[in-house]
A = this chain, B = another copy of it.
C-alpha cells in the first residue's frame, strides 16, 4: 500500500507517476493493451499525437519496461511495439480509469457547464 495522506518526492512511485501520468502515455498503453501495433498505426489510433511526441512517449514507456520495441527486417523496415507483461499489468487499473472517464463524460460535462456559468456570473 501507499503511505496514506501524503506523496513525498522521495516516494519511489513519484518518478514513475511523473513518467506515466500524461495523456499520451496512458493512451498508448491503452491501445497496445489490445494488441501489438506498428508506429504509424499507433499514430493514427492516438489521434492528434505528433510523430515527435509519439516517439518520445514510446521511448519513455520502453525505458520503464512497459513497452517493447521489435524491429522486423522487412523492406521497408517495420517496427512493432508491444506491451510487456508489466505493461499488461498496469493496463488493468488503467483501463478501469479510462472506462470511468468514458462512462462519466456526460456528468462531467454538466459539471463543467455549471461551473463555467457560476464563474461567468461574477
Contact = CB atoms under 8 A, between A and B. Distances in A.
Given A2-B98, A93-B97, A96-B93, A106 B63 contact: no
A78 interface: no
Contact of A21 (B21, B86, B104, B106): B21
A54 to B, nearest CB: 13
A51 to B, nearest CB: 17
A13 B48 contact: no
A107 B93 CA distance: 18
Contact of A47 (B7, B35, B47): B7
Contacts of A93: 93, 96-97, 99-100
Nearest to A84: B111
B5 A34 contact: yes
A115 B48 contact: no
A87 to B, nearest CB: 10
Interface in A78-103: 86, 89-90, 92-102
A20 B105 CA distance: 12
8 contacts: A2-B30, A2-B102, A11-B102, A13-B102, A16-B101, A65-B111, A65-B114, A86-B111
